[in-house]
């Protein structure tokens, strides 16, 4: 159970971050991916709770510290939540956060010195891997995990995967490798929000995604179970107790682990929640204020 910071405090942190995310995406001119980004805010609060606390261990003053835990948003389009979380704990300053999706004319050509539309590796901002094409971040994370294990290091690699993303072939290839190479330093988190770019996942593939049995056969420890939106009693992926306990159960396991979080895309605002219209966009002038009012409640 949560001991270091109580659930109410975490809810406050998540609320603050969700408002910030709404603002940041509004500032990009309504681009970005509000739906998926919003669906893992509570996870971000567990991963990076405050500068000194949270599931991930790192040294804010030494971004290249080799023993840091690694986090990779393999569903790279939702990484603005990571930027907002790192801003919230003081690692990315406000000016830098405002560079998201905007050209910096002073940077070199091909630069990743500011925050790109999808993650571009830059350890100063805690971005471990260039990702965005679905499944690529997972494969890079797997190489990182293999390298760290080779060095005999004990840090953890946490990877955020989308429930749409796992339809990609590279995900199948990589999951099998994680099992076969025995990379028990990896914790995968499935953000099961039931929606993908076009529509609901059930109109494109299986819903819930059939992944847990296969991963158990690959030697994973699986925490939780993907549920269809219609069958849920609650969205466990937004419950700070559940997230905390699940991640720690995964960390205690001797195997590679999968944590399933059943989440809601566009969580926090009624007209964005579970809506297929809110995958690839942010707020604009017509909805910014009404959304903000709901987030502030």
Partner 1 sequence: MEKYDFHGFGENQSMRNYVASNIGELMKTDPNIIVLGADLNTSLGIYNLEGEFGRYNEYPHGRVINCGISEQAMMGMAGGLAQEGYEPWVGTFVLFALRGMEPFYQAVALPDNNVKLWLSHYGLGIGQDGPTAQSIMDKGIWRSIPNVRSVITPADAIEAVSASTHMHENDGIYVLRLSRNSTPLIFDGDYNFSESQAMQLFDRDAGSKGKITIISDGEMTHQVLRAVVPELKEVDWTLTEKGYGVRVVHMPSLHVDEKMVLEAYDDSDLLVTVEDHHINGGLGSEVAEVMAENGCSKKLHRIGLTSFGESGPPAHLYKKYGLDAEGITRKIEELY
Binding residues for partner 1, per CB under 8 A?
A: 110, 112, 120-121, 128-133, 135-152, 169-170, 173-174, 176-177, 180-182
Smallest gap from Cβ 145 to partner 1, in A, equals 7
Cα–Cα distance for residue pair 297/207, rounded to 1 Å: 32
**Cβ distance to partner 1 smaller for residue 178 or 223:** 178
Strand locations in 48-192, DSSP E? 70-73, 157-162, 186-192
**Cβ distance to partner 1 smaller for residue 45 or 130:** 130
Smallest gap from Cβ 167 to partner 1, in A, equals 14
**Cβ distance to partner 1 smaller for residue 128 or 239:** 128
Smallest gap from Cβ 114 to partner 1, in A, equals 15
Cα–Cα distance for residue pair 236/42, rounded to 1 Å: 10
Please answer whether residues 88 and 13 qualify as being in contact, where contact means their C-beta atoms are separated by less than 8 angstroms: yes
Cα–Cα distance for residue pair 234/130, rounded to 1 Å: 33
Which residues neighbour 52 within 8 Å (Cβ) at sequence distance 6 or greater?
none
Q: Supply 294's token pair.
A: 């709901």
Which residues neighbour 103 within 8 Å (Cβ) at sequence distance 6 or greater?
none
**Cβ distance to partner 1 smaller for residue 101 or 265:** 101
**Cβ distance to partner 1 smaller for residue 33 or 149:** 149
Q: Supply 143's token pair.
A: 């190489």
Smallest gap from Cβ 229 to partner 1, in A, equals 30
Smallest gap from Cβ 228 to partner 1, in A, equals 29
**Cβ distance to partner 1 smaller for residue 29 or 182:** 182
**Cβ distance to partner 1 smaller for residue 83 or 136:** 136
Neighbour order of strands in the sheet with 221-223? 70-73, 157-162, 186-192, 257-262, 221-223
Smallest gap from Cβ 144 to partner 1, in A, equals 4
Q: Is 167 helix (H, G, I), strand (E, B) or coil?
A: helix
Smallest gap from Cβ 16 to partner 1, in A, equals 32
Considering only CA atoms, which of 41, 43, 69 is closest in space to residue 56?
69
């Amino acid at each position: 159970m949560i001991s270091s910071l109580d659930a109410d405090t975490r809810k406050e942190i998540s609320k603050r971050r969700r408002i910030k995310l709404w603002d940041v995406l509004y500032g990009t001119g309504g681009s970005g991916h509000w739906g998926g980004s919003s669906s893992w805010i509570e996870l971000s609060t567990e991963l990076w709770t405050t500068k000194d606390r949270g599931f991930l261990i790192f040294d804010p003053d030494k971004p290249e510290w080799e023993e840091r835990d690694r986090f990779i948003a393999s569903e790279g389009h939702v990484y603005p939540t990571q930027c907002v979380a790192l801003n919230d704990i003081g690692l990315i300053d406000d000016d830098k956060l405002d560079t998201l999706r905007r050209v910096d004319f002073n940077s070199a050509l091909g630069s990743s010195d500011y925050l790109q539309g999808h993650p571009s590796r830059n350890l100063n901002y805690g971005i471990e891997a260039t990702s965005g094409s679905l499944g690529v971040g997972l494969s890079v994370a797997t190489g990182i995990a293999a390298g760290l294990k080779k060095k005999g290091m004990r840090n953890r690699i946490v990877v955020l995967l989308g429930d749409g993303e796992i339809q990609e072939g590279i995900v199948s290839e990589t999951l099998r490798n994680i099992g076969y190479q025995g990379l028990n330093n990896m914790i995968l988190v499935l953000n099961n929000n039931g929606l993908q770019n076009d529509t609901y996942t059930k109109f494109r593939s299986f819903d819930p995604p059939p992944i847990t049995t296969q991963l158990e056969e690959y030697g994973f420890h699986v925490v939780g179970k993907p549920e269809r939106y219609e069958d849920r009693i609650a969205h466990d992926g937004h419950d700070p107790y559940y997230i905390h306990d699940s991640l720690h159960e995964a960390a205690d396991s001797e195997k590679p682990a999968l944590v399933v979080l059943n989440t809601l895309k566009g969580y926090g605002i009624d007209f964005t929640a579970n809506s297929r219209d809110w995958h690839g966009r942010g707020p604009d002038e017509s909805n910014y204020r009404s959304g903000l009012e709901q987030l502030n409640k």
